[in-house]
Structure formats: structure tokens, C-alpha cells
């Protein structure tokens, strides 16, 4: 597991801050970097006083939400097949966490797993020392240990949380996290959360087995067991991996991993979840892609959806027949429901299968699990088609610092990286992309690989292009370049990485660090 970035963090936070002495935050992170040879001057660390000062400046209501998150082994019933897995509590996904903007989350993680773990809060821009990245912002929480996360949830929106250790998020360890806007401008009768997932854990292996196979590379041969199987057209299964999963929407290769099931809110197509409401109701649906290696193309048969938000931020409303959602991304839609029973279908893009649920407002037989509503081939919206709502737009300014980040590597050696370098968990901030508090920053991502990647930045919401949506996770197609601008207003050490959990673990990760 040498390339498993955070499975066993190589350095503790103690090492990181120079032997545990209080240095007022600004510390020297070692003598020189692993690559490039440039000297590393001081970076703001998670224990810096600036982190607490920025937190104190957030609009807090003073209300506290206390929750215990017990990460533990459990089982998931997949329409009769029992999968052994790990989850928060006993359900997959774990019980939704819902707070108001400005409320303080006090979440005690209890680690009843056999492995170290952590909780990363994907979406809220929170204080750096609560970001949940072992080796960077905290020590991993050892088996039998506890850790209390405490932070102000400042920005409203559809978020989620998951571990930031190894491939754990591709188990059942994920939970939707909704921060409600006290001044919610939208009106709707009902609200649903639809969490999409690709599932393999406990059904013939674990995500760690998958990573081991992938790390042998497509040239390795032995990792694929020699048992290719396919139905002629469509992807070819090789052991736990996939060859030839292709999607025009993703610019070619859609994914690397074979999943036996695809889930909506923890339920497989063979035992689907039914959402019920009265006909004519206007419903807000919050979609979260919690998958490890699958983009979903989502449509509700017989309906058009109005896209209102992505990654928690409002966008100019846009009609869509279907949405393309990469791993880590969220989309909110409004939909006014017809009378009847309708299929909610989330195509596993390029993989020939789908997650499925039923929306019912009246009588009539339920749709078949293998229906493919024509909306899937209609107006398919991806995030880069959207425009930020005026109130969500960054003030116009020229970037004061730009980092060009090339996505590199490939399937042959499974050597995914940034700028030709695989992330080094022993020295996570060794090649940090430096910013300074108060700067307008531009990250220019160029995808120099043959595969799409959903790139994620912790702690911030960049604007995609000149007037695109504010986001924390954005799809980059092969060959594509996107500029992602943000204001450096949240000091600390922040991961930026591919949200394909296998690509991230293989090395497609880096750190944005604030100069002290």
C-alpha cells in the first residue's frame, strides 16, 4: 500500500509543527522540498492563531448541534444480498445532518473501525483544523479513539461528509450534510436528498482490493486475473476493474472500476426507494454523488428539472432534462410533479448500468428498474454550462497569484499526479501551491491525461471561468483547461485533489498552503 496516501499517515501533526512546540503557527516545514529543490519558507499551519481568528469572524448563531458519529462495521441489505461494510451508525448513508447557516456543529467521531479514520466535511468552508485530513490538519483517529469536530457551518448548501483516509469513502462511510439558509429564497412544498453511489464493498472484495489491483497498472496483467468478461459492446470487466467504459459526456474513458450495484440512498435498483408526495407538488431535490469512480447522468422520467444550485451556491436557473454529476459534486433542482409513478434514473455513465428510485404521486404500476427515460438523452447539463447567480459571483478582480496545475498520469501505470508528481503523504505540504491571505488566487487546471477528473479544493469555493458557478468540485475533461478563482480568506493547509478516490490515492493530490 505504498501509494495509499493517507492510510497510515507518515507524519503526525507533532512532526509537522516542529516537535510539538508552540511556535505561534508560523513554522518552518523542513529544510527543502522533495521536488524542484525550492526552499520551503513558513506556511500557516492548522494550529495558527489566524485559523481561530477567521473562525471568530464568521457569522455564528450560537446554536449548537451535537451529534455522535460512530464509524463501525455493519451490514447493508442489497435486495437480498448482505454486504459487510463500514458506515456511520448502522445505515448507509448515515442519518442526514441538517443545521442552519451559522450554527456550530459539534460532532464526536467514535472510531469503532479496525483502521484509523477521520471525517472530512465536504462543502462547508470551515476552520482548517477541523478539515479532517490526517497528516495535514490532524492525526488520524486510531481504532477505539474519539475526536470532536467543532466548527461554525457558515455557508448554506447541500454538502456531505466522508473519511479522508485511504479508500474508506468507497465503503458506506458517507452522510448528506445540509446547511439551511435562514433567508431561503426558493419556495417548495417538499425536499428530498438523493445520494448516489457506486457499490462494491462486501460484494466480492473491498475498495482496498480494488486499489491494489489498479496500482498494478493495466500493463501488470496479473492484477486482472485473466478473466475478462463482456457482452460484446460496452465495457469489459477484468477482475474488479473495467476496460472500455466510454462516455461522450466525459470525453472518453468513463471509469476504471467494476461495481456490482448502483444505489440511491443506499438502495439498489432491485429494492428501490420510493419518494412519495401529492401530485402538483413542487419539490427541491438535493443530489449528491458519493461514488468512488462513477459519474451519474440523472433524470426523472416525464419531467424537466430546474437547476438552482451546485455545490451549495446558487446559479441562474436553468432547465434540464438530465444532469451529469461527478464524484463529490452536488446539484439542487426544483421539479413540479405530474400525477403517477415515475422512474428516477441515475445512469452510471459509460458503465451500462444505473441507480434507480421511484417517485410516486398517484396510482399506477411502478416503472421497471431498467427503464431509460428519454430525458437522459435530452438537455444534459454539466456544471460548466451554468452561470453563477449574481449574488454568488466573485467581485471582479485580477488574480494576484496563479498556479498552473496539470493533471498527469494514466491507467497504464496508475500513476495519477499533479504536474507530473505523485502526492507524497510523508511530506504532504512539500510542494504546496502558495497563496497569501487576502489574495485573489487563480488555479488553472489543465487535464493532460486521457481521462476525466472531478477536481476538488478544500476550504474554498472557486468561480469557474469568468462567470461560471461557484464550486468546490469541478469536472475536467481530457484536454480541458479551467480557471478557478477564489479569494484566499480561509488560512491553513488545504487539499486539492481528484475526487475519484482511486486516482486521489494513487497520487492525484496536492496542497494549497497560505504563506505565514
Interface residues toward ligand C2O, by CB under 6 A: 120, 122, 162, 164, 328, 456, 458, 495, 497, 499
Pick the closer one to ligand C2O by CB: 164 or 423.
Answer: 164
Residue 458 interacting entry, from ligand C2O, Cu ion, none, C-beta within 5 to 8 Å by type: ligand C2O
- CB of residue 512 vs ligand C2O: minimum separation in angstroms? 12
In whole angstroms, what is the distance from residue 56 CA to residue 76 CA?
A: 41
Pick the closer one to Cu ion by CB: 238 or 498.
Answer: 498
In whole angstroms, what is the distance from residue 421 CA to residue 368 CA?
A: 47
- Angle at alpha carbon of residue 167, lines to 92 and 414, rounded to 5°: 140
Residue 502, sorted as left (phi over 0), alpha (psi -120 to 50) or beta, turns out to be: alpha
- CB of residue 498 vs Cu ion: minimum separation in angstroms? 3
Residue 495 interacting entry, from ligand C2O, Cu ion, none, C-beta within 5 to 8 Å by type: ligand C2O
In whole angstroms, what is the distance from residue 44 CA to residue 424 CA?
A: 19
Q: Which of 155, 500, 501, 514 binds Cu ion (CB under 5 A)?
A: 500
**Of 249-257, 335-343, 382-390, 499-507, which part binds Cu ion (CB under 5 A)?**
499-507
- CB of residue 458 vs ligand C2O: minimum separation in angstroms? 6
Pick the closer one to Cu ion by CB: 353 or 456.
Answer: 456
3 state DSSP class of 444: strand
Q: What's 272's DSSP letter? A: -
Q: Is residue 85 a contact point for Cu ion (CB under 5 A)?
A: no
Pick the closer one to ligand C2O by CB: 273 or 456.
Answer: 456
Residue 171 interacting entry, from ligand C2O, Cu ion, none, C-beta within 5 to 8 Å by type: none
How far apart are the two ends of the chain, measured CA to CA in Å? Answer: 34
**Of 86-94, 120-128, 279-287, 453-461, which part binds Cu ion (CB under 5 A)?**
453-461
Pick the closer one to Cu ion by CB: 7 or 503.
Answer: 503
Residue 497 interacting entry, from Cu ion, ligand C2O, none, C-beta within 5 to 8 Å by type: ligand C2O
Check if the beta carbon of residue 174 is closer than 8 Å to that of residue 161: yes
Residue 360 interacting entry, from ligand C2O, Cu ion, none, C-beta within 5 to 8 Å by type: none
> For 232, phi and psi rounded to 5 degrees?
95, -65
Produce one character per residue of 181-215: b if its CB has 16 or more CB atoms within 10 Å, e if not. eeeeeeeeeeebbbbbbbbbbbbebbbbebbbbbb
In whole angstroms, what is the distance from residue 413 CA to residue 214 CA?
A: 9
**Of 13-21, 236-244, 467-475, 500-508, which part binds Cu ion (CB under 5 A)?**
500-508
Residue 7 interacting entry, from Cu ion, ligand C2O, none, C-beta within 5 to 8 Å by type: none
Q: Is residue 167 a contact point for Cu ion (CB under 5 A)?
A: no
- CB of residue 420 vs ligand C2O: minimum separation in angstroms? 21
Q: How far is CA 367 from CA 6, 270, 271, 301, 342, in A?
A: 43, 12, 12, 9, 6
Q: Is residue 423 a contact point for Cu ion (CB under 5 A)?
A: no
Q: Pick from 85, 121, 119: which is nearest to 205 by CA?
A: 85
Check if the beta carbon of residue 179 is closer than 8 Å to that of residue 157: yes
**Of 177-185, 288-296, 368-376, 450-458, which part binds Cu ion (CB under 5 A)?**
450-458
Pick the closer one to ligand C2O by CB: 380 or 511.
Answer: 511
Sign of the CA dihedral running 502, 503, 507, 512: negative
Residue 453 interacting entry, from Cu ion, ligand C2O, none, C-beta within 5 to 8 Å by type: Cu ion
3 state DSSP class of 338: coil
Pick the closer one to Cu ion by CB: 92 or 511.
Answer: 511
Pick the closer one to ligand C2O by CB: 256 or 311.
Answer: 311
Q: What's 95's DSSP letter? A: P
In whole angstroms, what is the distance from residue 181 CA to residue 157 CA?
A: 7
Contact residues for Cu ion (CB under 5 A)? 453, 498, 500, 503
Amino acid at each position: 500500500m505504498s501509494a495509499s496516501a493517507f492510510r497510515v499517515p507518515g507524519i503526525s501533526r507533532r512532526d509537522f509543527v516542529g516537535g510539538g512546540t508552540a511556535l505561534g503557527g508560523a513554522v518552518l516545514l523542513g529544510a527543502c522540498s522533495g521536488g524542484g529543490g525550492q526552499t520551503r519558507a513558513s506556511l500557516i499551519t492548522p494550529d495558527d492563531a489566524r485559523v481561530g481568528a477567521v473562525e471568530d469572524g464568521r457569522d455564528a448563531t450560537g446554536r449548537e448541534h451535537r451529534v455522535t458519529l460512530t464509524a463501525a462495521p455493519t451490514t447493508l441489505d442489497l435486495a437480498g444480498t448482505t454486504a459487510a461494510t463500514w458506515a456511520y451508525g448502522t445505515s448507509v448513508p448515515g442519518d442526514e445532518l441538517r443545521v442552519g447557516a451559522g450554527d456550530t456543529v459539534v460532532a464526536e467521531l467514535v472510531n469503532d473501525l479496525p483502521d484509523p479514520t477521520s471525517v472530512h466535511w465536504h462543502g462547508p468552508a470551515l476552520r482548517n483544523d477541523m478539515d479532517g485530513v490526517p497528516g495535514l490538519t490532524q492525526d488520524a483517529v486510531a481504532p477505539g479513539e474519539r475526536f470532536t469536530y467543532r466548527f461554525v457551518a457558515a455557508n448554506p448548501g447541500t454538502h456531505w461528509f466522508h473519511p479522508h483516509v485511504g479508500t474508506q469513502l468507497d465503503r458506506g462511510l458517507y452522510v448528506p450534510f445540509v446547511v439551511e439558509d435562514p433567508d431561503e429564497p426558493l419556495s417548495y412544498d417538499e425536499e428530498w436528498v438523493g445520494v448516489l453511489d457506486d457499490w462494491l464493498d462486501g460484494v466480492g472484495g473491498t475498495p482496498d482490493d480494488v486499489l491494489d489491483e489498479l496500482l498494478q497498472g493495466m500493463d501488470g496483467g496479473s492484477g486482472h486475473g485473466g478473466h475478462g468478461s463482456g457482452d460484446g459492446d460496452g465495457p469489459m470487466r477484468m477482475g474488479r476493474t473495467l476496460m472500455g467504459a466510454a462516455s461522450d459526456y466525459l470525453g472518453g474513458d468513463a471509469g476504471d472500476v467494476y461495481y456490482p450495484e448502483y444505489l440511491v440512498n443506499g438502495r439498489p435498483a432491485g429494492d428501490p426507494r420510493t419518494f412519495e408526495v401529492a401530485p402538483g407538488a413542487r419539490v427541491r431535490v438535493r443530489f449528491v454523488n458519493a461514488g468512488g469512480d462513477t459519474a451519474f447522468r440523472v433524470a426523472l422520467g416525464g419531467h424537466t428539472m430546474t437547476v438552482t444550485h451546485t455545490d451549495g451556491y446558487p446559479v441562474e436557473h436553468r432547465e434540464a432534462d438530465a444532469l451529469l454529476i461527478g464524484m463529490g459534486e452536488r446539484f439542487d433542482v426544483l421539479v413540479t410533479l405530474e400525477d403517477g409513478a415515475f422512474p428516477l434514473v441515475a445512469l452510471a455513465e459509460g458503465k451500462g448500468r444505473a441507480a434507480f428510485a421511484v417517485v410516486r404521486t398517484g396510482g399506477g404500476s411502478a416503472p421497471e428498474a431498467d427503464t431509460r427515460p428519454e430525458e437522459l438523452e435530452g438537455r444534459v447539463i454539466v456544471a460548466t454550462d451554468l452561470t453563477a447567480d449574481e449574488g454568488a459571483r466573485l467581485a471582479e478582480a485580477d488574480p494576484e497569484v496563479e498556479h498552473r496545475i496539470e493533471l498527469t498520469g494514466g491507467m497504464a501505470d496508475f500513476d495519477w499526479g499533479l504536474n507530473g508528481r505523485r502526492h507524497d503523504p510523508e511530506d504532504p505540504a512539500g510542494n504546496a501551491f502558495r497563496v497569501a491571505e487576502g489574495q485573489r488566487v487563480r488555479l488553472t487546471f489543465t487535464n493532460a491525461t486521457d481521462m476525466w477528473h472531478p477536481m476538488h479544493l478544500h476550504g474554498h469555493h472557486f468561480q469557474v471561468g469568468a462567470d461560471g458557478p461557484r464550486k468546490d468540485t469541478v469536472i475536467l475533461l481530457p484536454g480541458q483547461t479551467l480557471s478557478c478563482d477564489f479569494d484566499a480568506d480561509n488560512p491553513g493547509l488545504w487539499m486539492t485533489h481528484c475526487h475519484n478516490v482511486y486516482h486521489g490515492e494513487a497520487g492525484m493530490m496536492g496542497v494549497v498552503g497560505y504563506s505565514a
